[in-house]
Structure 1
Amino acid sequence: MKSRSKLFALNGTLSLIQQLITVICGLILPQMILKAFGSSVNGTMSSITQFLSFITLLQGGVGTVARLAYYKPLAQNDNYKISVAYKTISNFYKKFANIFVIYLLGLSFIYPLLVKTGFDYLYVASLVLILGIASASEYFFGQASQMLLVSAQKNYIFSLTQIICTLLSTLIGIALVNKGASIHLVKIGSAIVYAIRPIVLLFYVQRKYTINQTVKPDKSLLSQRNAALVRHIAFYIHTSTDVMVLTVCTNLLWVSVYSVHKYVISSLSNLVTVVLGNVEAVFGDMVARNEQEIMKKQVPVYDLFSKIISCSCFVTSIILISRFVQLYTKGVSDIDYYQPLFATLLSVSELIYCMGITYQSIYIAAGHIKKTEWIAITEACINLFLSIALVWKFGIIGVVIGTIAAMTFKTIANIYYMKKNVFDMSLCFIIKSYAVNILLGILLITLNWTVFYIEIHSYVQFFLWVVIVFAFTAFSYLIVNIVVFKNEMQEIIAMIKRIILKK
């Protein structure tokens, strides 16, 4: 079995490649769709996607509980218990898939009546059905397999299949748009590709782990599902409230503005969370093996690493995102996509979220789901109520202010709970790591917006500048953290060397 550090690096590397390909493909095809079909179509698809995701609340955040169910049997290499967990989780998702299909059909009927899109009924209803195909396949075939791969620190398998699907879907979409195909045909091509991926994962997992299909499911494995539901609602609000509020309180043109910015931020957030999200599996394995001393040494290292990665990505985003949006939406005149204050605040909200991933991962890995319901409930209320209250006066800025407030509360609450109940991490180290990295970020942003600011007029120039800014930003963070956090950085560098030298 590969060591934790090697698995962490392999998962991180494949996730990085996956996200880079996703970002590149996501820049090409959506821009073609935006220019070929307009902001109204783009906003309508973004809105439909969020309404489709609403039904995921009914699965009760079982994904978190599912990962916990796998950690111990995987650590003990107990194939029988792995099979029991797999059968239990698989049965749950199949039932949920049936509910999703009913919801999909109902949404296709109701959505065109509730939301003024400017398109005829059949146009919108059929688009809803098409956008839901891949999700239905995922729930029928893929979720139990994906949870097992993540818990086994083999997320690189999922990343490989995602890379292939992204490339294939993009190529098909480009070809169809160039031939003048309708948006429905473009999305059907993508849906078919992504519907096949869960089936591939299903066959891989069943062969790799020799899943015994005759075992009886154990519903007690999902006993914390109700507590996980609260956490899942909070995560849904974190990712979906803004679009929902904008759909109801403004119009679909503003939803399109939000979705263009959100795509860039989400790409970076996914990059950071996928790389760092495997931390939960790492800590879950440590907890299952009761390796307390190792945790005391490793947790600060992973925490500092998460801040370096998060700040490097999102400081670069704050510096350059508005100039990218100007290039990306050049020629689109139905609404002004240049919203620098909104772009900055949206980047800040995701930076706060990503910098605090370690604290939540620790207590989730320890199984503290029920006991942390209060954090998720309060976060959700802050986000939802502030967004609704502020959108009427501040528009798109108001919804992102609500998200920033909720993320700030969540980070502080996660630190408090982790220290008091799971792992007594040095508060001085936490405060110092935040202060150093945030202050450095402010300095770098100020320098790039003033002294080193340049006009960008082409994609070649933009991506060249991205490389320069990111490299300088990441290098600055490495140097400053080496000076301030010598011991932790030595461990990070040593871990990287062990991976490279395969020792």
Structure 2
Amino acid sequence: MSTNENRLKKAFYSSITSAAYQVVVIVCGFITSRLLVETYGSTWNGVIAAITKFLSLFVIVEVGVNGATRVALYKSFANNDDRQTSAIINANDRYYRKISLFLIIYVLVLACGVPLIINANISYWSVFFMVLIIGTSKFAENCWGINSRILLAASQSNYLTNIIQTIATITNAILLFVIIKSGGDIFAAKFGSSTILVLIPIVLFILSHRMFRIDKRVAPDNTALKDRWNVLANSLSNIVHENVDVFFITVFCSAKELSVYSMYYIVADGLTKVFQVITNGLEAGFGNMWARRQYDTLNKNLRQYEYIIYALSVLLFGCMIVLVVPFMSVYMRDVTDVNYIRTSLGVCIAIAQILMSLRTPYVLLVQAAGHYKQVKVAGYVEAGINVILTAILVIKLGIVGAIIGTIVANAFRTIMYGRYVSKYMLSRRFSEIVKRFVWLVAAVSVSVGLSYGVLTRITVTNWASWILAAVITFAIHTMVVLLLSVIFYRNDLKNCTMLFKRLLKG
């Protein structure tokens, strides 16, 4: 088997297992989230969403190291250099041992501070202990899971991580269901979840250290860590994108409003996970091609992947614009402590996710090549735009204002990434990306317009009627995408179809 075929095969395995994992996450997420809101109320759901997001902010001290380490490992794996791999991982181990103490302090600070800023009718100590319970799994991930994930990702063995996480997610959902139906309180429910989440990094640690011979006697190589600040700048916009809305909604709105926001984002995240099915394993493949200077192969593969992303954006988020409010009307039926029917919120989130998704091909290429320093300014600017606009608009427009700030920031960063990749990495015209974007806008507009026209005859009152509406909407979007692809991107459609057939046969 050729090197390129082996890369494609590993990427395909990762994509298949990622698909299974994402489906499980989506299904279990919808079931458990509805159970939590129904049993413990929207206020607790909002509080848990805030705590989870605040804990995830600790990634700001991790992401620079993780990205730089991953890029360094692409080279050591491509050269089959076990000694260099050990040196890189040993440096990472030493770094994470140092920041473990800071993580403990951070969790304690959150436990003391979150109860003071969150607008919820819940006692101080209840929120305090909830932070400690949820923070336990974060500490376990920091101690045992991060290096294991990096090793498996850089070697294109993500499928093993996906399998383990799939099993854990199903187990977690079953345990949560049993605790809730047995009359357990919110603390018992979240403690059970945290217990399962603690086991994941431990299993990954055992597995990865059996697969790779990490020699602890090799001196740590801190070369990769020196690039961590450039990597952090590149990833800062993603960190801000995922957390700034929740921060300002927590401060300026109620916990119930945060619950509404989080429930809509469950839908958006579920659709975004479909993109992760495609991207899972591709960065490592791009990194391998870049390290071997296979630029023609890289350009061809990127073009195919680019077409897939734009087409999927139309299919998934165009459908979300049409279907998310009818979905909420059924999904959150009988939940009356806050209004979950927010059309403008659903549309704005869909637009924000489209713009976030469109930059994925360019982000992956920049990350795979290690060009973090070259694009770090754009990362800082986007983060600044997002924070400033969100802070201003959330006060005036509530949670919709927070999303509008994200939309503007996403648009800026997508343009910056597209221009950089086109001009400095692939030597192609930026107008190609502009044409694809115009194609996407036309496809979404036509698809959404036709769908609304047809669905005026259907009243969604239960799951059966919603599924009917979803099938019709998806069919309309699919036909529009295929028609416009045949007219404007016939070769891309043909090449992607052939690639998929080859992977299935191989």
Tell me by how many angstroms 1:279 deviates: 2.6
Structure 2 partner of 1:27: 30
1:66/1:222 contact within 8 Å kept = yes
Segments of structure 2 that go 5 or more residues without pairing to the other structure are: none
1:313 and 2:313 are equivalent in the alignment: no
1:379 to 379, 382, 392: 382
Root-mean-square deviation (CA), in Å?
Answer: 1.7
CA pair 159-296 structure 1, distance change in 2 beyond 3 A: same
- Aligned with 1:456: secondary structure? coil
Q: How does 1:246-261 map to 2 (within 5 A)?
A: 246-261=249-264
2:145/2:205 contact within 8 Å kept = yes
CA distances 1:170-213 after superposition (whole Å, capped 9, x unpaired): 00000111111011101111111111011111111111112222
1:5/1:495 contact within 8 Å kept = no
- Aligned with 1:223: secondary structure? helix
1:127 and 2:130 are equivalent in the alignment: yes
- Aligned with 2:223: secondary structure? helix
Tell me by how many angstroms 1:457 deviates: 1.8
1:359/1:414 contact within 8 Å kept = yes
Tell me by how many angstroms 1:254 deviates: 0.9
2:119/2:251 contact within 8 Å kept = no
Task: Compare 187-196 and 310-319 and name the one that shifted more.
Answer: 310-319
Q: How does 1:371-410 map to 2 (within 5 A)?
A: 371-410=374-413
- Aligned with 1:283: secondary structure? helix
Structure 2 partner of 1:470: 474
Tell me by how many angstroms 1:471 deviates: 4.6
What is the CA–CA distance in structure 2 between the aligned matches of 1:299 and 1:121, rounded to whole Å? 51
CA pair 56-103 structure 1, distance change in 2 beyond 3 A: same
1:422 and 2:422 are equivalent in the alignment: no
What is the CA–CA distance in structure 2 between the aligned matches of 1:135 and 1:283, rounded to whole Å? 30
Tell me by how many angstroms 1:374 deviates: 0.9
Q: Which residue identity does 2:52 align to in structure 1?
A: T
Tell me by how many angstroms 1:57 deviates: 1.7
Q: How does 1:66-465 map to 2 (within 5 A)?
A: 66-453=69-456, 454-465=458-469
Q: Which residue identity does 1:133 align to in structure 2?
A: T
- Aligned with 1:168: secondary structure? helix
What is the CA–CA distance in structure 2 between the aligned matches of 1:212 and 1:473, rounded to whole Å? 53
2:488 to 484, 488, 495: 484
CA pair 479-203 structure 1, distance change in 2 beyond 3 A: farther
Tell me by how many angstroms 1:161 deviates: 1.0
1:324/1:462 contact within 8 Å kept = yes
1:8/1:153 contact within 8 Å kept = yes
TM-score normalized with structure 1 length: 0.96
What is the CA–CA distance in structure 1 between the aligned matches of 2:207 and 2:453, rounded to whole Å? 52
- Aligned with 1:333: secondary structure? coil
What is the CA–CA distance in structure 1 between the aligned matches of 2:83 and 2:467, rounded to whole Å? 50
Segments of structure 1 that go 5 or more residues without pairing to the other structure are: none
1:60/1:230 contact within 8 Å kept = no
CA pair 483-333 structure 1, distance change in 2 beyond 3 A: same
Task: Compare 269-278 and 234-243 and name the one that shifted more.
Answer: 269-278
Tell me by how many angstroms 1:298 deviates: 1.9
What is the CA–CA distance in structure 2 between the aligned matches of 1:471 and 1:150, rounded to whole Å? 35
1:93/1:144 contact within 8 Å kept = no
Q: Which residue identity does 1:10 align to in structure 2?
A: Y
2:233/2:372 contact within 8 Å kept = no
Tell me by how many angstroms 1:359 deviates: 1.2
CA pair 156-461 structure 1, distance change in 2 beyond 3 A: farther
CA pair 235-101 structure 1, distance change in 2 beyond 3 A: same
CA pair 274-174 structure 1, distance change in 2 beyond 3 A: same
What is the CA–CA distance in structure 2 between the aligned matches of 1:385 and 1:438, rounded to whole Å? 27
1:47/1:244 contact within 8 Å kept = yes
Tell me by how many angstroms 1:452 deviates: 3.0
Tell me by how many angstroms 1:277 deviates: 4.6
What is the CA–CA distance in structure 1 between the aligned matches of 2:57 and 2:90, rounded to whole Å? 25
- Aligned with 2:281: secondary structure? helix
TM-score normalized with structure 2 length: 0.95
Tell me by how many angstroms 1:475 deviates: 4.7
CA distances 1:128-185 after superposition (whole Å, capped 9, x unpaired): 1111111111110011110121122221111111111110000000011111101110
Identity across aligned pairs (percent)?
28
- Aligned with 1:138: secondary structure? helix
Tell me by how many angstroms 1:105 deviates: 2.0
1:273/1:354 contact within 8 Å kept = no
CA distances 1:34-62 after superposition (whole Å, capped 9, x unpaired): 01111110111111112212222223532
What is the CA–CA distance in structure 2 between the aligned matches of 1:452 and 1:328, rounded to whole Å? 19
What is the CA–CA distance in structure 2 between the aligned matches of 1:480 and 1:122, rounded to whole Å? 57
Tell me by how many angstroms 1:433 deviates: 1.8
What is the CA–CA distance in structure 2 between the aligned matches of 1:378 and 1:366, rounded to whole Å? 22
Task: Compare 224-233 and 143-152 and name the one that shifted more.
Answer: 224-233
What is the CA–CA distance in structure 2 between the aligned matches of 1:146 and 1:102, rounded to whole Å? 24
2:315/2:474 contact within 8 Å kept = yes
1:279/1:358 contact within 8 Å kept = no
Structure 2 partner of 1:494: 498
Task: Compare 148-157 and 32-41 and name the one that shifted more.
Answer: 148-157
CA distances 1:45-80 after superposition (whole Å, capped 9, x unpaired): 111112212222223532211210110111112211
Task: Compare 485-494 and 219-228 and name the one that shifted more.
Answer: 485-494
Tell me by how many angstroms 1:100 deviates: 1.0
Tell me by how many angstroms 1:217 deviates: 1.0
Tell me by how many angstroms 1:464 deviates: 4.8
